[in-house]
Amino acid sequence: MTMSSTQPSGYRFGATYVGTNMISQTEAYPLLLADIDPSGNLNANIVAAPSEKTRCKFIAQILQSKWQSAQFTADYKGDLYTVRIGWNIQFTEQCVYVQPLRRHLLWEIRT
């Protein structure tokens, strides 16, 4: 429940869905998380695992009935490294900005 002078008071609604694709005993996909406030503002996350070595994540934010931002990232876990690519997306009244995130190549020592 929210009680604030800057936004309408009321309840926040959150929902979570955990799919049946079990990658391990502690990981199941797809994973969908969403939260909406009394003003109708929405934050949503979607996480998917197309294979055992890949993860994809999409995050979106909608404020005052308008898309504000979104982010997409994809990870690939090799035997000795992890690669991450992604994009930030910003929405304005005039245009949509798509900005690539810095690409990461992480070398890990795995035994």
Lowest mean pLDDT among 24-38, 55-69, 70-84, 88-102: 88-102
Lowest mean pLDDT among 52-56, 92-96, 106-110: 106-110
Model confidence at 111, in pLDDT bands (50, 70, 90)?
Answer: very low
> Between 41 and 91, whose confidence is greater?
41
CA distances from 97 to 50, 68, 69, 92 (A): 27, 11, 9, 8
What are 36-80's pLDDT values in tens digits? 998 889 999 999 999 889 999 999 999 988 889 999 999 988 888
Residue 105: Cβ within 10 Å count: 9
pTM beyond 0.85, yes or no = no
> In terms of C-beta density within 10 A (0-12 exposed, 13-18 middle, 19 or more buried), how is residue 3 classed?
exposed
Please tell me the total number of residues recorded for the chain in this structure: 111
What's the gap between Cα 9 and its chain centre?
A: 26
Q: Are 25 and 38 in contact (CB under 8 A)?
A: no
Give the whole-angstrom CA distance, residue 88 versus residue 98.
Answer: 6
Q: What is the pLDDT of residue 95?
A: 73
Q: What is the pLDDT of residue 86?
A: 87
Q: What is the pLDDT of residue 80?
A: 81
